[in-house]
Amino acid sequence: MKSNAIKSPCYHSASYTMRTIVLFVCAGLVPLQFSCGDYFKNDYRDNSPTSGRLKVYCDEGMMPHVKNQSLTFMSQYPNAIVEWFEGTEHDAVMALYNDSCEAIVISRLLNEKEKNAFGYRQFDPKYSAVAKSGVAIICNYETPLSALSLQAIRNLVTSGEAVNDSTGRKMELRVLFDRNGSSVMRYITDSVIKTRKLSSNCSALASSRETINYIATHKGTLAFIDFAWLSDKDDSLYKANADKIRFVGITGGNGQSAEYPSQSSFKTGTYPFTRTVYVYRKTGDFTLAKGFESFVAGPKGQLTFLKQGLLPNRQAERVIEVKMEPLDVNP
């Protein structure tokens, strides 16, 4: 049935006005949406030295310090988001090569094979030396062992030869590495035993933390880890194991005193297993990767390393002025 009701002219006017307002509002939101999206863009490619997103891969041995550096960086630059990933040293280099990240932290320079591979893809990764750490040897506190000579270490990991304990008695030891394929294992095989095969008494666990916890509860076992995991005496892991594990010193033989991993022995170069830590990137200078690299290599990043037990690559200079004038002392 058709209605005979008469619609008021005001109804049409109000309806038209409302539609007009909605159209103008929607039209205004479209450019606003795109402009805000561009302004707050925060991704992995379109970034700046202090804003955007960044993936950093590192060898698991350096993870505590990479995490601390990333958190400090983000606290200084709230528009930057740094994500850190741990793996082996090889994993980190391959992640940079395969565009899975924009920066890596490793304890060596790229070798010639890796440089050639990057060069084939027309990449020339830039890097900065940022700190010095070292391969530490640890044992259970109840294991009567305080130091080993370099030759004894070589014999232990290649043939399982017994070592002399602190009392001069022969002692057989099981050897642990932090994990398979780690930079620590690579360093021992390449630089210490010169690519000779590891003995059957050597094995690896899944992580540095697991290795430290194992040593804390097992006598008769020696482990190689990155010193970075135990460098910070204020860290909860160090405090939990300070009375359960000990560092094993390294001697050069001929009655030389033992050297232990520390900022001082890294500085003087007297600790045999000292290593340099590098930040690598393959992006340009106006990128978040460059900003992170500059921060870690700069004053605040270097101070962070210093406070947490590693030797920074650069230390702030202290200028001391000595006046040679005689003192004016009143009698």
Q: For 68-87, how does the pLDDT look when each residue is reduced to its tens digit (9 = 90+)?
A: 999 999 999 999 999 999 99
Q: What's the rounded mean pLDDT across residues 293-299?
A: 98
pLDDT (0 to 100) of residue 41: 56
Residue 14 has pLDDT above 70, yes or no: no
**What integer pLDDT is reported at residue 225 of this predicted model?**
98
Average pLDDT rounded to a whole number, residues 137-165: 95
Q: What is d(CA 177, CA 205) in angstroms, rounded to the nearest whole number?
A: 7
Residue 321 has pLDDT above 80, yes or no: no
Predicted local confidence at residue 83, as pLDDT: 97
Residue 68 or 31, more confident: 68
**pLDDT(189) > 80:** yes
Read off the pLDDT band of 317 (50, 70, 90).
low
Confidence check: pLDDT of 28 > 50: no
What is the rounded average pLDDT of the residues 200-215? 97
Mean pLDDT of 52-70: 97
Q: How confident is the model at residue 271 (pLDDT cuts 50, 70, 90)?
A: very high
Structure confidence at residue 326 as a pLDDT band (50, 70, 90):
low
User: What is the structure's pLDDT at 70?
Assistant: 98
Q: Which of 129, 173, 142, 139 is nearest to 155 (CA)?
A: 173
Q: How far apart are CA 282 and CA 127, in angstroms?
A: 9
Residue 144's CB is within 10 A of a number of other CB atoms, namely 13
pLDDT of residue 268: 95
Q: 217 pLDDT exceeds 70?
A: yes
- Mean pLDDT, the chain, integer: 87
- Of 8-22, 86-100, 238-252, the one with minimum mean pLDDT is 8-22
- E strand spans, the chain: 52-59, 80-87, 103-106, 126-140, 147-149, 163-164, 170-171, 174-177, 202-204, 221-226, 245-247, 249-251, 274-281, 311-312
CA distances from 128 to 15, 40, 106, 178, 293 (A): 67, 30, 11, 26, 7
For helices 112-120 and 89-97, give the axis angle rounded to 10 degrees.
20
pLDDT of residue 46: 84
pTM reported for the whole predicted model: 0.82
3-state secondary structure of 312: strand
> Residue 108 has what pLDDT?
96
Calculate mean pLDDT across residues 235-260: 90
β-sheet bridge partners, residue 290: none
Can you read off the two tokens belonging to residue 38? 């561009």
Distance of CA 155 to the CA centre of its chain: 31
